[in-house]
Each structure stands twice: as structure tokens, then as C-alpha cells.
Amino acid sequence: MADSSSSCHDERTEANYYELLQVSKDATASEIRIAYLRLIKLHHPDKLEQSSHHPSLTPKPRHTQTTISDHRLAQELIHAYATLVDPISRKEYDLTRLNSGPENHRTSSSKSNIKIVSQVLDLSEFTQLEAEEPDENQGERFIFPCRCGGNFLINEVQMEADINIIGCDGCSLNVKVEYQLA
């Protein structure tokens, strides 16, 4: 089967994640984390807005193009960190780079639908929703509050389908829900 994703993959740059995070290929997870935290503080759009409002810092004009490129760079840093800090993803990434030609260092994350998990929660931490009329299509439903004010919602049908990564209904955070089916 031919790889047709080269013409329709997302707009993520094809940067070398090691170069992007400014670490060596044999960097430890701790070194990768330190580099990521240093760089994300410099380039994350939320941090840039905070520093431009800080009275002790000289305010600099923010241009839309700069904000967009900062956002893209922050997303790249997040993907690079998530890929390199996880041993399995890192091994896949390294193999992909090794097996691809130097002209095309595609990352494994741009070929699949990887969701970055911000937290792992046990189902026991969720609150079971009481339904007036049980919905046979969804079964039991469980809810957990997100820090943004939204909620993570998982239902029995999702669990039976082995879906354990769910997104917040109010922001872009994803959590992994650990549970055992009866």
C-alpha cells in the first residue's frame, strides 16, 4: 500500500525533534524534560502574553504572524517532548528517522492520530452520573472535572470498545482512564 500521507499530512514541520529540543540523541528523559521546559517557557503563547503584561518587562508589540509562529513552535515542542520522553514512541521515532531517507524525516506522530495524554486517572476518581432514564446506547456514564471548568466524560460503551483516552469537552486536554471491565 502506497503512503499517500505525504501530500495530505498535517502542517507540522518535519524538524528533527532532537534538534528542536536542543538535546543530543542519547539525552536522558530528564535532560529532555529540562530542555523542553526551558524552551516552552520561551515560546508558549500563554507565557508570551503574561510576560508582555508584566510591569518589569519592556512590552514588545505582538504581531499576528509572530503569535501564529510561536503557537506552531509551541505545538512542535509539545509533540517533540511527548515523542522523545516516552521510550516506546522514541524508539519508533528513531527507527522511522533511520529508515527514511535524509530528505524526508517524517515522524511517527505525523503518520498516526496520537493524542498527548496530560494525566492518567483511575475510573474510581470519576463520579457516576445518575440518569433519570438509562440510555441503552451509552450505558453507565462517568464524569471528571477538568481544570478549565469543562469535563471528561466516559461511558460504558467506550470502555467496552477499549477506548481509554478521552478529551475534555471544554479544552484540548486528554486523559487516559484506567479501568477493569467486570
Q: Which CATH class is domain 10-111?
A: mainly alpha
Superfamily of domain 117-178: DPH Zinc finger (3.10.660.10)
Rounded CA separation 81/37 (Å): 9
More confident position, 115 or 134: 115
What count of Cα atoms within 13 Å lies in the side-chain half-sphere of residue 55? 0
pLDDT at site 34: 92
96 to 3, 43, 111: CA distances (angstroms): 14, 27, 10
pLDDT at site 133: 62
What are the φ/ψ torsions at residue 77 (nearest 5 degrees)?
A: -60, -40
Rounded CA separation 79/107 (Å): 10
pLDDT at site 53: 44
How buried is residue 142: exposed, middle or buried, by Cβ count under 10 Å (0-12/13-18/19+)? buried
Render pLDDT for 116-172 as a digit per residue (tens, 0 to 9).
Answer: 888 899 999 999 988 766 556 668 889 999 999 999 999 888 888 888 889 888 888
Render pLDDT for 17-65 as a digit per residue (tens, 0 to 9).
Answer: 999 999 998 889 889 999 989 988 887 666 555 444 444 444 444 444 5
- Output 169-175 pairs: Cβ under 8 A, ≥24 positions apart: 170/146, 171/146, 173/118, 173/119, 173/146, 173/147, 173/148, 174/115, 174/116, 174/117, 174/118, 175/117, 175/118, 175/119, 175/120, 175/121, 175/144
Question: Which of 97-106, 112-121, 171-180 is most confident?
Answer: 171-180
- Output 110-113 pairs: Cβ under 8 A, ≥24 positions apart: 110/5, 110/9, 110/10, 110/12, 110/14, 111/5, 111/9
Give the residue extent of every domain in the chain.
10-111, 117-178
